[in-house]
Amino acid sequence: MTGKQRLSASVDADLLRAAQSAVDEGRASTISAWVNDALRLKAEHDRRMQALDSFLAAYEAEHGAITESEIDDVVRRTRSRATVVRSAPAKKTEAKKTKSYRGVA
Protein backbone atom coordinates (compact mmCIF):
# COMPACT_ATOMS: atom_id res chain seq x y z
CA MET A 1 0.00 0.00 0.00
CA THR A 2 1.34 3.44 -0.90
CA GLY A 3 -0.34 5.34 1.92
CA LYS A 4 -3.56 7.14 2.48
CA GLN A 5 -5.07 10.24 0.92
CA ARG A 6 -7.77 12.46 2.33
CA LEU A 7 -11.02 12.36 0.38
CA SER A 8 -14.06 14.60 0.39
CA ALA A 9 -17.20 12.91 -0.87
CA SER A 10 -20.95 13.33 -0.68
CA VAL A 11 -22.61 10.22 0.69
CA ASP A 12 -26.28 9.24 0.90
CA ALA A 13 -27.59 9.71 4.44
CA ASP A 14 -28.70 6.08 4.76
CA LEU A 15 -25.21 4.86 3.85
CA LEU A 16 -23.64 7.20 6.38
CA ARG A 17 -26.01 5.80 9.02
CA ALA A 18 -25.00 2.26 8.02
CA ALA A 19 -21.34 3.18 8.34
CA GLN A 20 -21.88 4.74 11.76
CA SER A 21 -23.83 1.65 12.87
CA ALA A 22 -20.93 -0.55 11.77
CA VAL A 23 -18.58 1.52 13.90
CA ASP A 24 -20.97 1.58 16.87
CA GLU A 25 -21.37 -2.21 16.69
CA GLY A 26 -17.63 -2.83 16.38
CA ARG A 27 -17.80 -4.12 12.79
CA ALA A 28 -15.52 -1.29 11.63
CA SER A 29 -12.95 0.72 13.52
CA THR A 30 -13.88 4.04 11.87
CA ILE A 31 -16.16 5.36 9.15
CA SER A 32 -13.04 5.79 7.01
CA ALA A 33 -12.19 2.11 7.49
CA TRP A 34 -15.76 1.15 6.54
CA VAL A 35 -15.62 3.29 3.39
CA ASN A 36 -12.18 1.90 2.55
CA ASP A 37 -13.55 -1.67 2.82
CA ALA A 38 -16.53 -0.75 0.62
CA LEU A 39 -14.27 0.78 -2.03
CA ARG A 40 -12.00 -2.28 -1.92
CA LEU A 41 -14.99 -4.61 -2.38
CA LYS A 42 -16.28 -2.51 -5.29
CA ALA A 43 -12.85 -2.46 -6.96
CA GLU A 44 -12.57 -6.26 -6.59
CA HIS A 45 -16.10 -6.74 -7.95
CA ASP A 46 -15.31 -4.54 -10.96
CA ARG A 47 -12.07 -6.49 -11.58
CA ARG A 48 -13.97 -9.78 -11.53
CA MET A 49 -16.64 -8.45 -13.90
CA GLN A 50 -13.90 -7.29 -16.30
CA ALA A 51 -12.31 -10.76 -16.14
CA LEU A 52 -15.70 -12.38 -16.81
CA ASP A 53 -16.29 -10.04 -19.77
CA SER A 54 -12.88 -10.97 -21.18
CA PHE A 55 -13.52 -14.69 -20.69
CA LEU A 56 -16.93 -14.51 -22.39
CA ALA A 57 -15.55 -12.47 -25.30
CA ALA A 58 -12.77 -15.01 -25.85
CA TYR A 59 -15.20 -17.95 -25.53
CA GLU A 60 -17.67 -16.44 -27.97
CA ALA A 61 -14.88 -15.55 -30.42
CA GLU A 62 -13.91 -19.23 -30.51
CA HIS A 63 -17.33 -20.91 -30.21
CA GLY A 64 -19.86 -18.33 -31.36
CA ALA A 65 -22.32 -16.24 -29.42
CA ILE A 66 -24.11 -17.83 -26.49
CA THR A 67 -27.82 -17.88 -27.34
CA GLU A 68 -30.82 -17.28 -25.08
CA SER A 69 -31.93 -20.88 -25.63
CA GLU A 70 -28.52 -22.16 -24.47
CA ILE A 71 -28.79 -20.02 -21.34
CA ASP A 72 -32.35 -21.25 -20.72
CA ASP A 73 -31.17 -24.86 -21.13
CA VAL A 74 -28.36 -24.40 -18.61
CA VAL A 75 -30.70 -22.75 -16.12
CA ARG A 76 -33.19 -25.61 -16.51
CA ARG A 77 -30.50 -28.29 -16.03
CA THR A 78 -28.97 -26.47 -13.07
CA ARG A 79 -32.32 -26.09 -11.33
CA SER A 80 -33.14 -29.76 -11.87
CA ARG A 81 -29.94 -30.76 -10.04
CA ALA A 82 -30.27 -28.20 -7.24
CA THR A 83 -30.97 -29.27 -3.68
CA VAL A 84 -33.77 -27.25 -2.14
CA VAL A 85 -32.69 -26.12 1.31
CA ARG A 86 -35.70 -23.96 2.00
CA SER A 87 -38.89 -23.79 0.01
CA ALA A 88 -40.21 -20.55 -1.39
CA PRO A 89 -42.65 -18.70 0.88
CA ALA A 90 -46.31 -19.35 0.21
CA LYS A 91 -47.98 -16.74 -1.96
CA LYS A 92 -50.36 -14.38 -0.21
CA THR A 93 -54.01 -14.76 -0.98
CA GLU A 94 -55.87 -11.89 -2.60
CA ALA A 95 -57.67 -11.14 0.69
CA LYS A 96 -54.39 -10.77 2.58
CA LYS A 97 -52.92 -8.49 -0.08
CA THR A 98 -55.67 -5.89 0.30
CA LYS A 99 -55.53 -5.55 4.09
CA SER A 100 -53.28 -3.07 5.84
CA TYR A 101 -51.23 -3.92 8.90
CA ARG A 102 -54.25 -3.01 11.08
CA GLY A 103 -56.47 -5.45 9.21
CA VAL A 104 -58.44 -2.65 7.54
CA ALA A 105 -58.75 -2.51 3.76
Q: SS3 of 65, please?
A: coil
Residue 12 to residue 32: CA distance in whole angstroms: 15
Residue 96 to residue 104: CA distance in whole angstroms: 10
Q: Per-residue pLDDT averaged across 47-76, rounded?
A: 97
Residue 3 to residue 9: CA distance in whole angstroms: 19
Q: Give the residue extent of every domain in the chain.
A: 13-84
Residue 87: is its pLDDT beyond 90?
no
Confidence of residue 105 (pLDDT cuts 50, 70, 90): very low
Confidence of residue 95 (pLDDT cuts 50, 70, 90): low
**pLDDT for position 92:** 76
**pLDDT for position 96:** 55
**Measured distance between the N- and C-terminal CA atoms of the chain, rounded to whole angstroms:** 59
DSSP state of 4: -
Q: Per-residue pLDDT averaged across 66-71, rounded?
A: 96
- Give pTM, 2 decimals: 0.65
